[in-house]
Amino acid sequence: MNKGISDLNLDQEDIHTDFKKEMTYGEYLRLDQILSSQERLSGHHDEMLFIIIHQVSELWMKLTLHELTAAITAIDKGEMQSAFKKLARVTKIQSQIIQAWDVLSTMTPAEYLEFRDSLGKASGFQSYQYRLIEFALGYKSSHILKIYEKDAEVHAMLKDALNQPSIYDVAIRALSKAGFAINPELLDRDFSVTYAGDPTVEAAWEAVYRDVDKYWDLYQLAEKLVDVEDWLQQWRFRHMKTVERIIGFKTGTGGSSGVNYLRHVLDHRFFPELWDLRTKL
C-alpha cells in the first residue's frame, strides 16, 4: 500500500509543511512565470511540444553562454583547469539539446502544418542566443544583426559580442604566452571578422600535439575545444535532419532556405587548425 503524505510525515518529522513565511521551491524557480509561458496560438495539441522544445533549448543555450563566457575569461587569465571544467559542462549541455530533436521528431509533417502559419515569420533562425554562441566560438557575421534591430537591448548585446575575442582568439593568445611564435597581427586583430586560419597557429598546435607532456594544458585545451565543436556540429546535423523530416525542403518561416542553409553551416569549422593537424600527425 502506498504511503500518503500523513504517513510520510510520521516517518520524516523534519519535513517542512508551513510555508506561509518561507520561500517555496516554486517561488525560487519562478514556476508561475515559466509554466504560464506556453501559449498556443493555434490551440493545436502539438504546438505545446513545439513551444516547450524551443523554450528548453533556449534555457540550455543560456547556460552554455554562461559557461563559455566564463571559460573565455579563465583561459585569458591562464586559469586552465577552471576553463576545462566549464567546457566539459558545455559538452554535457550540448548532449541534452541534441536529444531534444528526438522528441520534436515525434511530430509528423501533417501535425506541424496544423499550426505552422501561426508562427508568421518567427523562426529559430532568429535565436539571438544561438548567434551569441556562434560569436563566442568565433563565427562572426555582422549582416545578421539587422534581424535584431527591433530590440535595441538585444541588438547592442550582439554588437558588443561581435567585437569581442572568441574562445579560439584567447586560445591563440595562450599559445603566444606559452612562447610560440604567433603572427602578432592575430593578437590584436579585428575580432568582428571570422578567423580563417594562420600558418603560425597551425605550427604551434602541431608542436603541442607532438610534445603532449611538455604542453599538457594546451593539449587539454585543444581537445576540449574539439569536443565543443564536435557536439555543436552533431546538434546542427540533428537539427537539419529533423527539419527535413518535418518540412522537407520548404523555405523556413523566417525566410531562410531551411535544410539547404542548415547543410551549408555544417561545412563551417570554428577551430580549423585543430582539425587539419589530425591529418598531418
Cβ atoms of residues 266 and 239 within 8 Å: no
Burial of 191 from C-beta contacts in 10 A (0-12 / 13-18 / 19+): middle
44 is in an annotated binding site: no
239 is in an annotated binding site: yes
247 is in an annotated binding site: no
Cα–Cα distance for residue pair 119/211, rounded to 1 Å:
53
Cβ atoms of residues 69 and 142 within 8 Å: no
53 is in an annotated binding site: yes
Cα–Cα distance for residue pair 117/260, rounded to 1 Å:
21
172 is in an annotated binding site: no
24 is in an annotated binding site: no
Helix, strand, or coil (residue 267): coil
Helix, strand, or coil (residue 171): helix
52 is in an annotated binding site: yes
Grid coordinates given for 213: 607532456
Q: Give the annotated binding-site residues.
A: 50-54, 112, 116, 239, 253
Please state the residue numbers annotated as binding site for substrate.
50-54, 112, 116, 253
Query: Which residues sit in the known binding site for heme?
Result: 239
